Amino acid sequence: MTDPLSKAATATEISGAVMSGKVKAAAVIDATLKRIEAAEPTINAFTDVVAARARQRAAEIDAGLHRGPLLGVPFAVKNLFDIAGLPTRAGSKINVDGPKAERDGALVRKLEAAGAILVGGLNMGEYAYDFTGENAHYGPSRNPHDPMRMSGGSSGGSGAAVAAGEVPLALGSDTNGSIRVPSSLCGLFGLKPTYGRLSRAGSFPFVDSFDHLGPIARSAEDLALSFDAMQGWDSDDPVCTDRPADPTLPRLIEGVDGLRIAIAGDYFAKGGEPEAFEAVATVAKALGATRTVVLPQAAAARAAAYVITAIEGAQLHLPRLRTRPQDFDPDTRERFMAGALLPGAWYVKAQRFRRQYRAHVLKLFEEVDVILAPATPCTAPKLGQTMMTLDGVELAVRANLGIYTQPISFIGLPVAVAPLQRPGGLPIGVQLIAKPYNEQAALRVAAHLQKLGVAAAPPA
């Protein structure tokens, strides 16, 4: 049993210890705040620490005022989630001049209602238009495996904070890969649920068509535990599903029995570095998966996701681009400006194609339950690196770290990331992709890989 006060403790282990009275929530928070203080000069994952609030909440838990499956679990959120009393930075300097949030975002409230304790807001790429974790205003969140390398973005602080053991659980957002890319580069379990499965209310948007929220954690159990606590309809998010909650944690025990697992070929089997494909092969071998399936028109799906992102994101920020261009991060400003000038016809075509691609991919899921694909085309690039060579081709880092994630979030499929630690090397993740609302299948595969020792969080 891991010491619940150590940085290796999972949310499941901490809540178990607090519920059983083995440890006080106050002690968990004290240890967490000390770890944050020690790690931050190097990692730079946090932009805000709400120590007084966390201590107050812990005292209430120790007084028996709160209950729930996440009792006493410290967590932090990407700073595009509203935190009452703080400006919702969304990685920007501009938003700090705006109003402070009057109440917490919907998922923060749900996790706290389940007994968890918010300890702060996390660094991120400006306005989520990022795969690197770099930020000109707040500095980069650094990869704990090598602080000179990228954490991945845009939920870079979420990945860095969990990988460094500052918190066992963090929330991020994923529009084109922003949970999956940092999960891969930092070597963590991550979950991008089905589009509309979790409420986005009380979070700063990026691209309404693809914005998802979800957890990053040290274990598959923790993903399921937190995902289950966050499910449920919310009238404040117009795309939030009214389907009943579908608890996943009780199903992890089923393992992969009855699941048909295949490997994504073609687009997902080229254009990356060998370690990305070796990771998929390792996972496939462990699962006994030999069948290969082809997601048709995946390159067009990635292109369409890129177009929709550029145009919706630019439209959202056009007023600020007109009035405060100098206050943007230079690495996002000119991409937003470019997006504002792309033809509207591209956007409409991309949205029409989205429906066709969805139909083709859903057809595949009549024959398989989970599809394996690389999460990133490479391990963590160096901070400041702008170009990389993939499969012999020189490409921009920012535009291409998400080549394998974009065609999946484009149609809102649920995906878990299973992390592979590579002794002597940097970690890398594998996407476990399921059909809509079938998060349980992806999480069961992740839990099975963890049980086999194939997937694991970084050693403490």
Partner 1 sequence: MAEQKRDVARMVEEGAKTAGLAIAPEYLPNVILNVERSLMIAQPLLELDLEDDLMSAPVFRP
- Binding residues for partner 1 (CB under 8 A): 196, 238-239, 297, 299-300, 302-304, 306-307, 310, 318, 321-322, 325, 330, 333-335, 337-342, 346, 348-356, 358, 396, 399
Instruction: Provide, rounded to whole angstroms, the least separation between the CB of residue 299 and partner 1.
Output: 4
Return the number of other C-beta atoms located less than 10 Å from residue 67's C-beta: 11
Minimum distance from residue 152 beta carbon to partner 1 (Å): 20
Token digits of residue 248: 């996943």
Choose between 292 and 297: whose C-beta lies nearer to partner 1: 297
* Residue 6 or 351 having the CB closest to partner 1: 351
Query: Which of the residues 178, 183, 184, 203 is marked catalytic?
Result: 178
Selecting among 154, 173, 199, 209, the annotated active-site residue is: 154
Both structure tokens of 182 = 């940092």
Rounded to the nearest whole angstrom, what is the least distance from the CB of residue 405 to partner 1 in the complex?
A: 15
Q: Smaller CB distance to partner 1: residue 190 or 193?
A: 193
Smaller CB separation from partner 1, 288 or 344: 344
Rg of the chain taking only CA atoms, in angstroms: 20
Amino acid at site 361: V
Q: Would you say 352 or 363 has its CB closer to partner 1?
A: 352
Q: How far is the CB of 165 from partner 1 (least distance, A)?
A: 37
Q: Which of 78, 110, 192, 435 is catalytic?
A: 78
Cβ at position 150, least distance to partner 1 in Å? 20
**Minimum CB distance to partner 1 smaller for 38 or for 395:** 395
Question: With respect to partner 1, which residue has the nearer C-beta, 277 or 346?
Answer: 346
Contact criterion met (CB below 8 Å) for 446 and 275:
no
Closest CB to partner 1 among 70 and 403?
403
Phi (first) and psi of residue 291, to 5 degrees: -75, 140
Q: What is the closest distance, in whole angstroms, from the C-beta atom of residue 335 to partner 1 in the complex?
A: 5
CB of 438 to partner 1, least distance (A): 19
Q: Is 178 a catalytic residue?
A: yes
- Beta carbon of residue 128, minimum distance to partner 1 (angstroms, whole number): 17
Clarify whether 154 is annotated catalytic: yes
Name the packing angle between helices 274-287 and 439-452 (round to 10°): 90
Catalytic site positions: 78, 154, 178
